[in-house]
Chains A and B, each alone.
Chain A
Amino acid sequence: MADFSAEVYQNEFLPDGGTDVHAIVTVTCTGAGAAGQAGHGDAAEIVIVDTSGSMGQFNIRAAQQAAAAAIDQIIDGTWFAVIAGTHEARMAFPAGRAELGMVQMDSTTRTSAKRAVSSLRADGGTAMGTWLTMAARVFATVPSLAQKHAILLTDGENQHETPEQLTAAIEAARGQFQCDCRGVGSDWQVAQVRRISQALMGTVDIIPTGAQMAETFETLMRQSMGRGVASATLRVWAPQGAQLLFVSQVAPTVLDLTSRRQEVNALTGGFPTGSWGDESRDYHVAIRLAAKGIGQEQLAARVQLAIGDSVVAQGLVKAMWSSDDTLTTRINPEVAHYTGQTELADAIQEGLAAKAIGDDVTATAKLGRAVQLAAETGNDEATAKLKKVVDIDDPNAGTVRLRRGVDKLDEMALDTASTKTTRVKK
């Protein structure tokens, strides 16, 4: 059985009249076990491969190998399917049946599935919304599923459906399954695919060339098979009359959860967190309270992790009003660190968006701020990726110049990595 723990980092001291409480809550899971083994329902995997014409001979071959590598990582007994995506979605495996469906992994189905993916052909357009819609329908054919995960591969823009159609498909799929998305090459749009991965509680990243595809798929599937906790919810209780300003995952990646609130009761919101393996995630919670008198103490939030209806970990966020400036002005290092990292993600995305439309002034300012924040918070990966897009004159002041002739892949790598955070150095 998995064990969860929660730790709270905050400065609970508020000055006279102070109202806003910020805290970082670290939730850690150990002993998660393997997907689908806990006896609370089965696990299922769908591999969604872009088979549009633009994939070409080389990338479709790489995609065949990548799908096979992913299939090799799926544990026996896990339900699975493969979808081939173009301007429409098609069942690649199991195929040949009138209705949609999944099969359970064993030596026979593994062999059949790998044979099926080896015959994928590149032909047609791209309509990712139809792929998501079919995946949701395929998962729905197996009632015993507790954990549903997909890997989506694309190589291009979503050309064969309107943005509204894609949005509708994403919203329909939200909460139905989790989806890690990968784009190969430089012809896909990071922002577009990130919308899918964020809505479906997955990750987004770039695969620079087809040669790295199999390794990426293998890793993604192994990680998914290591998530033995099918589904957990972050619950945040705030006192009557208080305002929950925001709830955001800040590590390992930045993901604002505020709008995903589902009411548990009038004072408690539930925020889905998907499945868990042996890992640690950090959440930034901000609450606005009615100010109390000096010397008074109250609870500002209970932050809990719940599996179904049972709470498996709890952290208490507190507020104490004090007249002692040495206490109230103290800055909590964890809160400061993640506030900076969240701003870093925004600065990179906004800087790159400005650069893409030729607004060099905004791009320079935003990316300069990003360089500054990456240096301040010790995010070396972000600094390394920023250096490929801008020339840094002074990292502390954030003065940079946009580089000319930047490799599109480097820019996309910076974009996809923008939400990855580093942890506080202890």
Chain B
Amino acid sequence: MDDAVTQCPTCHVAVGASERFCEACGAGLSPTVGAVEPVPAEESMKGTPVPDDLGGTASTCQACGGEVSADGYCGTCGARAPRRRDHFSEQPAAWVAAVCDRGIRHTRNEDAVALAADAEPGSRAVVVVCDGVSSSVDSDLASLAAARAARDVLAFSRSRGMGTGLSLAAAVIARLEAAADAASEAVLEVTSKANNLAAVGSQSVPNPASCTFVAAVLEQDLLVVGSVGDSRVYWLPDTGDATALTLDDSFAQEQIAAGVPRAQAEAGPQSHAITRWLGADAPEHRPTTATMTIAAPGWLLVCSDGLWNYCSAAKDLAELVAQTASSSPAAAEPLALAGALVDWANARGGKDNITVALARIHPG
């Protein structure tokens, strides 16, 4: 991201000239902001269409329950119906669920999530989150294609090496690397389709589609995570210390590594600039991996910066999750809890897209 740096007109932090939103405050930065014409509903849909299951708008109005008209607005109250891509959830098994949401400030949802899980609680699960980089075109398509491609690789492959211990961990790490390759391929394909449509060579696209990548694979008590960029995996045990299992590839993390306190580093003007990503202009995309053995009940939480922006430290996040889950028995269900955490981030301003994926684990 070697854009010329300008200032966000809203919060005055430094931003790249081609960024479409301020990463700090979420304000729109594109030259069209302030024009009377709103962003067309299908603005991003060139080249590759959004997959059918997330195309178009919801048919029922979220505001009043009325029927949504073909023009994308409620036929009763006139509320703009969200595009399905703007807010969707997945729940492959009762114990694994995710909610992916546009947030408040952005005009489209460039986050994506894809899940797979076996029915037996705590047995086997795959969670992939990709966060499209908003300075590039079609990042909403790229992130979704990447997350689903990676999920498919991880869900299909059951190679276990020698079957136990280090050998199983090595096999899962190899799967994660293959999944990152597949995700990267999917991103490149989106850029290539955009190029074909623009009838220009791939080198001439100024901002090829790009996104972050984080995946968590649970094989019974073994958890393996891999990450490129700044989407995160947290392990939040019901008792004991919560931990972040990933390290961001970001300017802020580099500062933290150099000794700057986390809160200060993450508040800095360039803190959200990521140093690694998937995309045509990425030098490499080998995920940084980590493994752990799960020995106590807790929550596996995978999220984009739309959530952790408001609650970065693992300890704070564990408190937030515990508090949110304790409000009622139903609130402790994975889908309800993920939705409640998305609502919480929106209530804090929703300045970025928000993805929250949760798996409830009760070992042994």
Please report A residues at the B interface, Cβ cutoff 8 Å: 10-13, 237-242, 267, 295, 297-300, 302, 314, 316, 318, 320, 324, 326-327, 330
Q: Smallest distance from the beta carbon of B35 to chain A beta carbons, Å?
A: 9
Is there a chain A Cβ closer than 8 Å to B76's Cβ?
A: yes
Q: Smallest distance from the beta carbon of B9 to chain A beta carbons, Å?
A: 10
Within 8 A of A (CB), among B75-95: 75-80
Q: Please, how many angstroms separate the alpha-carbon atoms of A11 and B38 in the complex?
A: 11
CB-contact partner of A327 in B34, B66, B74, B80, under 8 A: B34
Q: Please, how many angstroms separate the alpha-carbon atoms of A298 and B73 in the complex?
A: 7
Contacts of A241 in B (CB 8 A): 77
Is there a chain A Cβ closer than 8 Å to B71's Cβ?
A: yes
Smallest CB gap from A11: residue in B: B36
Q: Please, how many angstroms separate the alpha-carbon atoms of A318 and B79 in the complex?
A: 10
Q: Please, how many angstroms separate the alpha-carbon atoms of A240 and B79 in the complex?
A: 11
Is there a chain A Cβ closer than 8 Å to B64's Cβ?
A: yes
Contacting pair A318 B77 (CB below 8 A): no
Smallest CB gap from B104: residue in A: A295
CB-contact partner of B74 in A13, A299, A320, under 8 A: A299
Q: Smallest distance from the beta carbon of A292 to chain B beta carbons, Å?
A: 9
Q: Smallest distance from the beta carbon of B74 to chain A beta carbons, Å?
A: 7
Please report B residues at the A interface, Cβ cutoff 8 Å: 34, 36, 38, 64, 66, 69, 71, 73-80, 104-105
CB-contact partner of A239 in B36, B71, B76, B104, under 8 A: B76
Contacting pair B77 A316 (CB below 8 A): no
CB-contact partner of B38 in A238, A295, A297, under 8 A: A297
Contacts of A237 in B (CB 8 A): 75
17 contacts between A and B (CB under 8 A): A238-B78, A239-B76, A239-B78, A240-B64, A240-B76, A241-B77, A242-B78, A267-B75, A267-B76, A297-B80, A298-B78, A299-B74, A299-B79, A302-B69, A316-B73, A320-B38, A327-B34
Q: Smallest distance from the beta carbon of B180 to chain A beta carbons, Å?
A: 36
Smallest CB gap from B64: residue in A: A240
Contacts of A327 in B (CB 8 A): 34
Give the secondary structure class of B's interface.
Answer: loop
Contacting pair A300 B38 (CB below 8 A): no
Smallest CB gap from A327: residue in B: B34
- Shortest 9 CB-CB contacts between residues of A and residues of B: A239-B78, A299-B78, A299-B73, A298-B78, A297-B80, A239-B77, A240-B76, A298-B79, A240-B77
CB-contact partner of A298 in B34, B71, B80, B104, under 8 A: B80
Q: Smallest distance from the beta carbon of B213 to chain A beta carbons, Å?
A: 30
Contacting pair B78 A300 (CB below 8 A): yes
Residue of B34, B64, B105 most packed against chain A (CB within 10 A) = B34
Q: Please, how many angstroms separate the alpha-carbon atoms of A318 and B75 in the complex?
A: 13
Q: Smallest distance from the beta carbon of B101 to chain A beta carbons, Å?
A: 15
Q: Please, how many angstroms separate the alpha-carbon atoms of A11 and B266 in the complex?
A: 39
Q: Please, how many angstroms separate the alpha-carbon atoms of A240 and B66 in the complex?
A: 10
Contacts of A12 in B (CB 8 A): 36, 38
Q: Smallest distance from the beta carbon of A225 to chain B beta carbons, Å?
A: 36
Contacting pair B73 A314 (CB below 8 A): no
Contacting pair B76 A324 (CB below 8 A): no
Contacting pair B77 A324 (CB below 8 A): no
Q: Smallest distance from the beta carbon of B265 to chain A beta carbons, Å?
A: 29
Q: Please, how many angstroms separate the alpha-carbon atoms of A295 and B10 in the complex?
A: 15
Contacting pair A298 B38 (CB below 8 A): no
Q: Please, how many angstroms separate the alpha-carbon atoms of A317 and B173 in the complex?
A: 54
Contacting pair B34 A326 (CB below 8 A): yes
Q: Please, how many angstroms separate the alpha-carbon atoms of A295 and B27 in the complex?
A: 11
Q: Smallest distance from the beta carbon of B72 to chain A beta carbons, Å?
A: 9
Q: Please, how many angstroms separate the alpha-carbon atoms of A302 and B73 in the complex?
A: 10
Contacts of B64 in A (CB 8 A): 240
Q: Smallest distance from the beta carbon of B42 to chain A beta carbons, Å?
A: 15
Contacts of B78 in A (CB 8 A): 238-239, 242, 298-300
Contacts of A300 in B (CB 8 A): 78
Q: Smallest distance from the beta carbon of B239 to chain A beta carbons, Å?
A: 40
Known: A314-B71, A316-B73. A299 touches B34 (CB 8 A): no
Give 16 new A-B contacts, CB below 8 A, not counting A10-B36, A326-B34.
Answer: A12-B36, A239-B78, A240-B66, A241-B77, A242-B78, A295-B104, A295-B105, A298-B73, A298-B77, A298-B79, A299-B71, A299-B73, A302-B69, A302-B71, A318-B38, A327-B34
